């Protein structure tokens, strides 16, 4: 039974690498991008999520990010975020969570061994001195923010299409997926590189690959266990109390 094998592999692994996408935050009320009701249906990424768009109309881009920032702060981590915190505590230093999400919900749930590949929407970065700083609370936030250090204009501290990832972020993520005994990929369409390559890298490196996604992705055919479930349901099936016991009762039931 694939699920039991996946659970046993996950709970006995000393090195676990996890990749999450927008799907894990859907249960927290944060929209995805490419679903039927995703953000890119109503907003053209070329007008909101590229350096050119920002240079062309910084106010329009900042107003969009201020709206997403407010939604992220109003959202709460959901049971799937919290299950990953439990898994991190169980695995320890061999655990790494790599997220494409900028909503900050993994950090708020308590994830510590965390790489935010695409930045974080609750921070800004000065265009002049590159200083990163937290945005004020949404109710006191009037974009664009100015840098507290040099007074320069600041931009959202997220990675736009065509931009480089934060220095060292992908290298750290790739190392974890190469070395992983188990790789767990949750709620991503696996369409955006280089993040999308991490699941393949783990598979090619011999990891046991688990995917949680209600719809098939390019990764699904490589997965050792593909759970066609939402993130919350999938994490409960893998790690929740109602999942089958790890090992059959050695004494056997009379």
Number of chain residues interacting with ligand APR (CB under 6 A): 24
Q: Pick from 15, 26, 123, 203 the residue near ligand APR by CB under 6 A.
A: 26
Question: Cα–Cα distance between 180 and 198 in angstroms, integer?
Answer: 11
Exactly one of 28, 32, 78, 122 binds ligand APR (CB under 6 A); that residue is: 32
- 3-state SS of the chain is CHHHHHHHHHHHCCCEEEEECHHHHHHHCCCCCCCCCCHHHHCCHHHHCCHHHHHHCHHHHHHHHHHHHHHHHHCCCCHHHHHHHHHHHHHHHHEEEEECCCCCHHHHHCCCCEEECCEEEEEEEECCCCCEEECCCHHHCCCCCECCCCCCEEEEEECCCCCCCCCCHHHHHHHHHHHCCEEEEECCCCCCCCCCHHHHHHHHCCCEEEEECCCCCCCHHHCCEEECCCHHHHHHHHHCCCCCCCCCCCCCCC
Q: Identify which of residues 79 and 138 has a Cβ nearer to ligand APR in the complex.
A: 79
> Does residue number 82 form part of the binding site for ligand APR (CB under 6 A)?
no
Q: Does 83 bind ligand APR (CB under 6 A)?
A: no
Q: Does 215 sit near ligand APR (CB under 6 A)?
A: yes
**Is there binding between residue 122 and ligand APR (CB under 6 A)?**
no
For residues 7 and 118, which CB has a smaller minimum distance to ligand APR in the complex?
Answer: 118
When asked if residue 22 is in the footprint of ligand APR (CB under 6 A), the reply is: yes
- Report strand pairing: 225-227 vs 208-212: parallel
Which residues does the annotation mark as catalytic? 118
Q: Least Å distance between CB 186 and ligand APR?
A: 6
Cβ atoms within 10 Å of 120's Cβ, excluding its own: 23
Contacting range for ligand APR; rule: CB under 6 A; set: 106-114, 138-146, 177-185, 207-215: 207-215
**In this chain, which stretch among 9-17, 21-29, 57-65, 71-79 interacts with ligand APR, using CB under 6 A?**
21-29
Give whichever of 93 and 193 is closer to ligand APR, judged by the CB atom. 193
166 binds ligand APR (CB under 6 A): no
Residues 184-203 that bind ligand APR (CB under 6 A): 187-189, 191-192
Per CB under 6 A, which region of 15-23, 69-77, 128-136, 149-157 contacts ligand APR?
15-23
* Contacts to ligand APR by CB under 6 A: 21-24, 26-27, 32-35, 38, 100, 118, 187-189, 191-192, 213-215, 217, 230-231
């Amino acid at each position: 039974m694939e699920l039991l094998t996946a659970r046993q592999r996950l709970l006995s692994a000393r090195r676990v690498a996890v990749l999450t996408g927008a799907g894990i935050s859907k249960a927290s009320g944060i929209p995805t991008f490419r679903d039927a009701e995703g953000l890119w249906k109503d907003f053209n990424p070329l007008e909101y999520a590229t350096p050119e768009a920002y240079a062309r109309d910084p106010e329009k881009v900042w107003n969009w990010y201020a709206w997403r920032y407010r939604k992220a702060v109003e959202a709460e981590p959901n049971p799937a975020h919290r299950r990953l915190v439990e898994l991190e505590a169980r695995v320890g230093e061999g655990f790494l969570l790599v997220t494409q999400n900028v909503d900050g919900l993994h950090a708020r749930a308590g994830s510590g061994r965390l790489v935010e590949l695409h930045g974080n929407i609750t921070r800004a970065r000065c265009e002049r001195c590159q200083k990163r700083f937290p945005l004020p609370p949404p109710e006191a936030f009037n974009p664009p923010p100015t840098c507290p250090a040099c007074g320069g204009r600041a931009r959202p501290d997220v990675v736009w299409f065509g931009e480089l990832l934060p220095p060292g972020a992908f290298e750290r993520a790739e190392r974890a997926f190469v070395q992983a005994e188990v790789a767990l990929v949750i709620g991503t369409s696996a369409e955006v590189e280089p993040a999308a390559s991490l699941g393949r890298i783990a598979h090619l490196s011999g990891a046991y690959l688990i995917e949680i996604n209600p719809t098939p992705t390019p990764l699904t055919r490589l997965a050792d266990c593909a759970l066609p479930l939402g993130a919350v349901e999938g994490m409960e099936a893998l790690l929740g109390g109602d999942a089958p016991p790890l090992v059959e009762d050695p004494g056997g039931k009379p």
